[in-house]
Amino acid sequence: MKKLTLLLSAVLLLVLLPVRAMAVDIPITSRAAILMEKETGEILYAQNEHEKLEPASVTKVMTMLLTMEAIDAGKLHYDDIVTVSANAAAMGGSQVYLKEGEQMTVEDMLKAVCVASGNDACVALAEHISGVTELFVEQMNNRAKELGMNDTHFVNCNGLTAEGHLTSAYDIAIMSRELLLHHDDIHRFSTIWMDSIRGGEFQLANTNKLIRFYDGATGLKTGFTSTAGYCISATAERDGMELIAVIMKGETADSRNTDAKALLNYGFSTYALVNVTPDESFAPVPVALGTADTVQPQLAEQGSHLLLPKNQVGDLQQSVVVAESLTAPVEKGQKLGELTVTDGANALVTIPITAAEAVPRLTWSEMYVHLLRNAFLAK
């Protein structure tokens, strides 16, 4: 039985391995590229994805991630006031021309970063969150390590050219996925085409032209310096599937966007995301010697999405195996069975079915009372 389980696991692993670059020919002209599906993290295309390159302002995806994490943790609020330092006001490159001592809400600062790629707003946010940019950059690198971004070393928070400031297309996809997967509110900013700050006095236009010209575009961040070339983490959603296309070291803005669109077009035309849900509700499972008579099975949250070639989606079938009965104690999350999705012949994914709640075992005194009650009811 153990050998059979190992064999099935190996088959499933082969079925679910991400499609690599050599599996499809997409005419990408930029140096490095990757296409990732957000929910599953599966890689659909890759080219030089681990090569360490300068990311330019795509760096700001990590700044956006740390900002959103602070907001969602309650450590930062959209209406908090940020006071601009001399250091922030002195930033060159893309900027919203902040002045020393100027005050602006976190929301407007984040808008300036996401839409206009403001280097000055980026530094002002970093200083407000961590006190000094050096500490914020340390937090960026720590977060990168936590996410497994092994090709990455940040030197600043905005992507201005600096020696040793490097990452890869793969790592950019990883941090972009983390931002989109857990902080959906970022779409409020990344999808803005035109807006303003300073009470309407200063107009913003998104540096990501795909927001206006690509169907379903949701963001995320562009970048350019003379040494980094043209970079982008381009995200788009159609039919409930969000894709992340990362391009690094493109020759021109147009070629970068063309490459990103080619990746996104390939993903949307070839794949579909299936949300795996049971065809029928699970019946409660009887529990012996427990404080409750039954426990409710549920589908484990992780693994409930399945990425498939579109030509397989219409032939999916389900089989469910759940324990007929249990003996307490039952732990919350304890495996009770499996739901297997097949295409009729091959198993595509097997998802655990688990206990929705814990059922402790009856104590001796509780068991005695339980027996007396049952004896009384039987009379």
Please report, for the chain, how many H helices and E strands are present, in that order. Answer: 11, 18
Closest CA to 93 of 186, 203, 219, 226: 226
Query: Which residue is catalytic, options 30, 57, 94, 190?
Result: 57
Contacts for 99-106 with beta carbons within 8 Å, 24 or more apart? Answer: 104/197, 104/198, 105/78, 105/79, 105/80, 105/81, 106/67, 106/71, 106/76, 106/77, 106/78, 106/79, 106/80, 106/81, 106/82
Query: Which residue is catalytic, options 60, 111, 221, 249?
Result: 60
Strands (E), 276-325: 285-288, 294-295, 297-299, 305-309, 317-322
What letter does residue 103 receive in the DSSP assignment? E
Residue 135 phi, psi dihedral angles, 5° rounding: -70, -40
Closest CA to 46 of 223, 200, 168: 168
Judge whether 99 counts as a catalytic residue. Answer: no
Query: Which residue is catalytic, options 30, 85, 94, 117?
Result: 117
- List, in order, residues 6 or more apart from 270 with CB less than 8 Å away: 44, 309, 310
Judge whether 38 counts as a catalytic residue. Answer: no
Judge whether 196 counts as a catalytic residue. Answer: no
144 strand-pairing partners: none
Position 31, amino acid:
R
Closest CA to 206 of 218, 226, 190, 224: 190
User: In whole angstroms, what is the distance from residue 9 CA to residue 362 CA?
Assistant: 37
User: In whole angstroms, what is the distance from residue 137 CA to residue 286 CA?
Assistant: 54
167 strand-pairing partners: 53
Kind and range of the H or E element at 373? helix 364-378
Q: Which residues carry out catalysis? A: 57, 60, 117
